[in-house]
Structure 1
Amino acid sequence: MVNPYGPDTRGTFSFGIRLGLLFEVQAACLSAICVVGLLVYLGWTAIRTRRQRGKHALPSHLHVLFVSLLFSDLLHSIGSILNIPWIRDSGVLEGPLCTAQGIFRQMGDTGVALEILAIAVFTWGVIVRGWSSPSLKTTFVIVGLIWIFVILITLVSYGVHKAAGQVYYGNTRYWCWIRSPYSLPDGIALQYGWFWLTAAINLVLYISVAVTLLKSKRRCRNAQMPEGQRSLQKIAFQMTWYPIIYLITITPMSITRLWIFTNPEHPPPFAATALAAVLLTLSGVFNAVLFSITRPTLIPQKGHDHDPTVGGLRSIYTLEFCQRPDEDQRSSKIPPSPETPCHGEGTSKGGGTDETYV
C-alpha cells in the first residue's frame, strides 16, 4: 500500500490545520518548560540535600521513576515542537526531520506508558500487598530496562525497514509517525497497545489501592491521627490521580487513532485530532503539577528543611495512618494488630541509616 499522503505535502495545509498544529506546539513548549524547570529544581534539591546530609542522602525509588517519566514527557514535547516546520511550510516533508519527529513521539509516548505502569505496580504492591519499598538498585534496573526496551523497539523496527529500503517514519497527514502500511500493526504493537494495557492495569490496581486506603481510614475513624500521618494519607490518595490524568490524556488520541486505523478513507475531523494531540502533549504539564502536589518536599518551607516526609515515600506506603488514643508512642515497638494499621506498621525492611529524599 502506498502512503496516501505522499512524501511532500508542503503548501496544502489550510489556515485551520496550521492553527491547530500551532496549539499543539504551544502545549509542547509549555510542557517542556514545566518538565525542564522541575528537573532543574530536582537536581538542585538533590545537590543541596547531599551537601547537607552527606553521602547517605539517597533519592527514593519513586523519585527515580518520576524523573524518568519526566524525561519521556520531554521527548514527546520535542517531537511535537518539530511541527514548526510543517506549520511554516503548510505541509509535511519526509526526510531526517520527519524521521526524528516519529522517533521522538514513539519513544516518549511508549516511555510514559511503561513508567506510569511501573509506578502503579509499585504503589499497589506496597500498599495492598505489603511489599517492601524496592531498593534503589532494583529501581535503576527497572528504569534501565524500560529505556532499553523503548530504544530497541523504536530503533530496531526503523533499522529493519530502512535496511529493506522502506520508509518507516513518514507523513501521516498532519505530522510524522509510523506511516502506512505499517501504522496499524506496528502502531498497536509498539505504542498504542502499551497505552491501552497501561490504562487497563492502572484502573484495576488503583481501584484496589483506593479500597485498601478507604478500609484503613474507616478502621481509624475513632482513633487519633497525627498531622504528619494525615498528610501522608492525603498524598497516598492523591496518587490515584495519576491513572485518571493518564486516561484523560490518552483516550482522545486513542479514539482518533482507532478511527483512522479502521476507516482510513474517512479520517476524523481535524478539530478532534488537534484536541487529542494537545491533550496528549499536555501530559508533561499534568505530570509536573501532580508531582509537585504529591511531593510536599518539593516546596521548601522556612524552618522545615527536615520535613518528616523526607524519608521518602516509604512512610506513605506503610499505611501509618492511625494511632489509638490510649496508645503510648513509646510502645510503638510492639507489633500492632493486623486488623489495625496504626503507628509503625509495615516499615520497610533493611532499617539502614541511609536517608531517602523526594
Structure 2
Amino acid sequence: MASNHPNDHPLNNFSVHAGLLLVSEIGLVSFVLAFSFFTYCLRQVYERRCRFRYGESDPSVEPPLQPISLLFLCAILMDTIHATSNILSFRWVLTGEVTEGPYCTTQAALKQVGNYGVALYTIAIAMLTYLQVLHSKWLGKRGAKIFAAASVCFITLFIILSVAIPASTIQSYYGDSGMWCWVSKHYRGIWRIANETVWMCLAAPITILTYSTVVYKWLRQASFDADQDLKRDAISMGWYPVGG
C-alpha cells in the first residue's frame, strides 16, 4: 500500500534520498565483499576436505572445518543476507516512496534475519574463543563441536521464530518504516528495540569482555615466558571487537 500523501514521504527530501542511495550502494559493496569471502572460505573448506580424505592417517592434516570456522562462516552468511536487504532499497530510491507488498516484506524479513544472525553469531564466536583459550578442559575433545552445532541450531530456530511469529500474529508488522521496509512505523518503541538494539547492544559488551579477558591472559603469559609471538597474537586479538 503506497503512502496516501506521496509528497510528504521522507524520500522526497533530497538529503534523505541521497542518503538512502548511499546506503544501497554500501550494501552492494558489502554484499560483493561478504559473498566473495564466503565463497573463498567454502572453497578452502572443500580443498581441506579433499586433503583430509586422502591423508586421514597423517596427523598433520587438519580437519576440513573447525567448529569456530563454522560459526564464522555462518556470521559471514548473515552479513551477506543483511547486505542484500540494503540492496533492495534501490527500488525505493528509483520510485521515491516505499510501497508495501511482498517485495517490502521480503526486505524486512531479510533485514531481521541479518540483524539477529550477525549479533548472535558474533556472541557465539566470542564465547567459543573464550572457552577454547581459557577453559579448554571444560570443552574436552568434542565440546567445541557440540557448542558450535548447538549454537547453529539454537540461532537458526530463534531467528525463524522471531521473524515468523510477529509476522503471522501482528497485523502489518512488517512494512514501511520510513526510508525502507522493516518493522512498520506503526510499531515504534519496544518492538524496534527488541528486534535490533537489544541484540546489538548485548553483542558489543560480551565481545569486548571475552576478547579483553583472552588478551589479558595472553599478555600476562607472554610477559612471564618472554614469548613475543604470543604477545603479538594477543595484541592482534585485541582488535577483534573493533573488526566485529
Pairwise same-fold verdict (TM > 0.5): yes
> For residues 65-144 of structure 1, what are the structure 2 equivalents within 5 Å?
65-130=71-136, 131-132=138-139, 134-144=143-153
Distance in 1 (CA, whole Å) between partners of 2:212 and 2:46 is 37
The 3-state SS of whatever aligns with 2:31 is: helix
Q: 1:51 to 1:202 in 2, by over 3 A?
A: closer
- Deviation track 1:223-260 (CA, whole Å, cap 9, x = no partner) reads 6x6xxxx2x664454333232234xxxxxxxxxxxxxx
Q: 1:242 to 1:158 in 2, by over 3 A?
A: farther
Distance in 1 (CA, whole Å) between partners of 2:101 and 2:5 is 9
C-alpha contact (below 8 Å) 1:9/1:92 kept by paired residues: no
C-alpha contact (below 8 Å) 2:46/2:64 kept by paired residues: no
C-alpha contact (below 8 Å) 2:219/2:231 kept by paired residues: no
- Answer with 1 or 2: which has the greater Rg: 1
Q: Is structure 2 residue 145 aligned with structure 1 residue 146?
A: no
- Deviation track 1:27-57 (CA, whole Å, cap 9, x = no partner) reads 1111111111112112222222222221753
Distance in 2 (CA, whole Å) between partners of 1:47 and 1:115 is 22
Distance in 1 (CA, whole Å) between partners of 2:3 and 2:112 is 21
Which residue is 2:68 aligned to?
62
- 1:180 Cα deviation from its structure 2 partner: 3.2
Q: Structure 1: which 5+ residue stretches go unaligned?
A: 247-358
Could you tell me the TM-score, scaled by structure 2's length? 0.85
C-alpha contact (below 8 Å) 1:8/1:93 kept by paired residues: no
**Amino acid paired to 1:30:** V
Which residue is 2:242 aligned to?
244
Distance in 1 (CA, whole Å) between partners of 2:147 and 2:208 is 25
Q: Tell me the percent identity.
A: 26
Q: 1:26 to 1:235 in 2, by over 3 A?
A: farther
Of 141, 156, 167, the residue aligned with 1:158 is 167
Distance in 2 (CA, whole Å) between partners of 1:242 and 1:114 is 16
- Deviation track 1:281-328 (CA, whole Å, cap 9, x = no partner) reads xxxxxxxxxxxxxxxxxxxxxxxxxxxxxxxxxxxxxxxxxxxxxxxx
Let me know the Cα RMSD of the aligned residues: 2.3
Which residue is 1:26 aligned to?
25
Which residue is 1:320 aligned to?
none
Which residue is 1:195 aligned to?
200
Q: Is structure 2 residue 52 aligned with structure 1 residue 53?
A: yes
Q: 1:19 to 1:67 in 2, by over 3 A?
A: same
C-alpha contact (below 8 Å) 2:178/2:185 kept by paired residues: no
Distance in 1 (CA, whole Å) between partners of 2:74 and 2:160 is 14
Q: 1:245 to 1:9 in 2, by over 3 A?
A: farther
Which residue is 1:213 aligned to?
218
Q: Structure 2: which 5+ residue stretches go unaligned?
A: 57-62
Distance in 2 (CA, whole Å) between partners of 1:81 and 1:236 is 37
Distance in 2 (CA, whole Å) between partners of 1:169 and 1:59 is 37
- Deviation track 1:52-99 (CA, whole Å, cap 9, x = no partner) reads 221753311111001000111011111100101100011111111111
> For residues 336-347 of structure 1, what are the structure 2 equivalents within 5 Å?
none
The 3-state SS of whatever aligns with 1:183 is: coil
**Amino acid paired to 2:145:** L
Which residue is 1:185 aligned to?
190
**Amino acid paired to 1:201:** I
Which residue is 1:253 aligned to?
none
Q: 1:98 to 1:173 in 2, by over 3 A?
A: same
Could you tell me the TM-score, scaled by structure 1's length? 0.59
**Amino acid paired to 1:117:** I
Q: 1:173 to 1:30 in 2, by over 3 A?
A: same
Which residue is 2:38 aligned to?
39
The 3-state SS of whatever aligns with 2:98 is: coil
Distance in 1 (CA, whole Å) between partners of 2:82 and 2:231 is 32
The 3-state SS of whatever aligns with 1:59 is: coil
